[in-house]
């Protein structure tokens, strides 16, 4: 559109319906944690929740938007999940969403010894609206399935996040032959300065955008936006309609400017053996 011109009625970008996006998310992507688990995961159903356990990683508990129980029954459900992992000497994350019921689930988790790991915003966007290319100066994006890159990526991400995420190398190594996991790195002067991945949820219209770590001195140069656009193009080519992000407060404003829509929040509550 030329500078100073007004958009026609037909060219105005439609407002995305947050409620419709949330329904699609709840119906399709949310249950992927227990319906499409990792090969080494074991899934147990306990009433309204699913419990996912791994041999060497902390577990995960999650359920549908309405657990359908409250009070003492909910407390007993929470205690059973905690005690299951305590017997294995493993930690566990109970993932919650802001629109779930009962509304006092977070408080009851805290009373049972779980601790909040911080709230993130669940944002969803249409892949077709996120593909605009971004010009980068002296920075190259490429996809990788090389194990040596995974080690370098994990080291870079640890520096960017200010805490170790060395487990990420093993996580990616386990998925290097998975066509639904696409790892992208941004390199400058032979160094990985940023990275991210796309995880397509099989059998759904959703792809998750994860990672997005950028070294401090390389921020503000468009790398994050470029990584989103690259993954959006991959997703669109694979028939993915929706892109979903659990966004920190650092990335949320960028994503909203790109057209992502807030649909809810998510908070993980963690318990670990003392």
Q: Would you give per-residue pLDDT tens digits along the chain (274 residues)?
A: 333 333 333 433 444 699 999 999 999 999 887 887 677 889 999 999 999 999 888 999 999 999 999 999 999 999 999 999 999 999 999 999 999 999 999 999 999 999 999 999 999 999 999 999 999 999 999 999 999 999 999 999 999 999 999 989 999 998 999 999 999 999 999 999 999 999 999 999 999 999 999 999 999 999 999 999 999 999 999 999 999 999 999 899 999 999 999 999 999 999 999 8
152 located within any domain: yes
Tell me how far apart the alpha carbons of residues 109 and 36 are, in angstroms, rounded to a whole number.
Answer: 26
Considering 98, 121, 144, which residue would you say is the last residue of a domain?
A: 121
121, 154, 169: which is the final residue of a domain? 121
Its domain, for residue 85, covers 20-121
> What pLDDT does residue 139 have?
97
pLDDT of residue 16: 65
The predicted pLDDT at position 15 comes to: 46
Q: What pLDDT was estimated at residue 33?
A: 78
CATH code, 143: 3.40.630.30
Q: What gap in Å lies between CA 186 and CA 27, rounded to an integer? A: 34
Residue 12 in any domain: the answer is no
Count the domains in the chain.
Answer: 2
In a domain, 268, yes or no: no
pTM: 0.88
Continuous H helices in the chain? 18-24, 32-35, 71-87, 105-111, 147-161, 167-174, 223-237, 252-258
Beta strands in the chain (DSSP E): 42-46, 49-53, 59-63, 92-97, 115-126, 140-143, 181-188, 191-200, 206-214, 242-247, 261-271
> Looking at residue 38, what is its pLDDT?
75
Residue that is last in its domain, among 121, 156, 174: 121
Q: In this structure, are 97 and 187 located in the same domain?
A: no
Verify that 103 and 136 share a domain, yes or no. no
Q: Is residue 189 part of a domain?
A: yes
pLDDT confidence of residue 35: 83
């Amino acid at each position: 559109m030329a500078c100073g011109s007004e958009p026609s009625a037909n060219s105005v970008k439609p407002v995305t319906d947050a409620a419709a996006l949330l329904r699609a998310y709840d119906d399709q992507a949310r249950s992927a944690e227990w319906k499409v688990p990792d090969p080494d995961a074991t899934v147990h159903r306990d009433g309204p929740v699913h419990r996912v356990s791994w041999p060497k990683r902390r577990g995960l508990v999650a359920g549908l938007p309405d657990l359908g129980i409250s009070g003492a029954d909910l407390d007993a459900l929470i205690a059973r999940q905690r005690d299951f992992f305590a017997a294995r000497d493993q930690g566990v994350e109970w993932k919650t969403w802001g629109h779930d019921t009962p509304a006092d689930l977070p408080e009851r988790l805290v009373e049972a010894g779980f601790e909040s790991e911080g709230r993130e915003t669940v944002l969803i966007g249409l892949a077709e609206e996120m593909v605009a290319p971004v010009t980068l100066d002296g920075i190259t994006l490429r996809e990788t399935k090389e194990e040596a890159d995974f080690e370098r990526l994990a080291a870079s991400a640890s520096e960017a996040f200010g805490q170790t995420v060395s487990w990420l190398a093993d996580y990616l190594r386990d998925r290097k032959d998975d066509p639904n996991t696409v790892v992208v790195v941004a390199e400058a002067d032979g160094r990985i300065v940023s990275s991210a991945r796309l995880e397509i949820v099989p059998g759904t219209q959703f792809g998750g955008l994860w990672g997005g770590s950028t070294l401090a001195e390389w921020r503000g140069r468009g790398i994050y936006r470029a990584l989103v656009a690259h993954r959006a193009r991959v997703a669109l080519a694979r028939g993915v309609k929706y892109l979903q992000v659990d966004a920190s407060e650092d990335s949320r404003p960028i994503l909203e400017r790109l057209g992502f829509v807030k649909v809810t929040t998510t908070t993980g509550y963690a318990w670990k053996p003392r």
